[in-house]
Amino acid sequence: MFAGCLLTFVPATSDFVNSFILGGTDTTMIGNIIQTTYLTNADYPLASALSFILMAVLLIGIFLYARVLGTRDVLEMSTR
């Protein structure tokens, strides 16, 4: 269940192109905020800080998943 949440969350955080095309301007995602901050506002320090925070949150989730379930357990379950 955690893997499903993680695999859904990772693309959803950075998939700002599809939300812009399909969702219009009403949807706000972290990718849209980073893109607007970097390209439109030219606030490079804030954009890089937001990108770093996003990367850190994703890495914590991935490492937590690997720590809790372990890669050995996942490989054993797939061979059964």
Per-residue pLDDT of the chain (80 residues; tens, 9 = 90+): 667 777 777 776 666 666 666 666 666 777 778 888 888 898 899 989 988 998 888 888 878 877 777 666 555 655 55
Give the pLDDT of residue 52: 92
Only one residue has tokens 């606030």, namely 43
pTM tops 0.85:
no
Q: Count how many Cα atoms sit within 13 Å of the Cα of residue 26 in the half-sphere of its side chain.
A: 2
DSSP letter (8 states) at residue 25: T
Give the pLDDT of residue 34: 84
CA distances (Å), 43 to each of 13, 15, 55, 80, in order?
A: 20, 21, 18, 51
Give the pLDDT of residue 64: 82
Rounded to the nearest 5 degrees, what angle is found at the Cα of 7, between the Cα atoms of 37 and 28?
A: 30
CA distance 71 to 75: 6
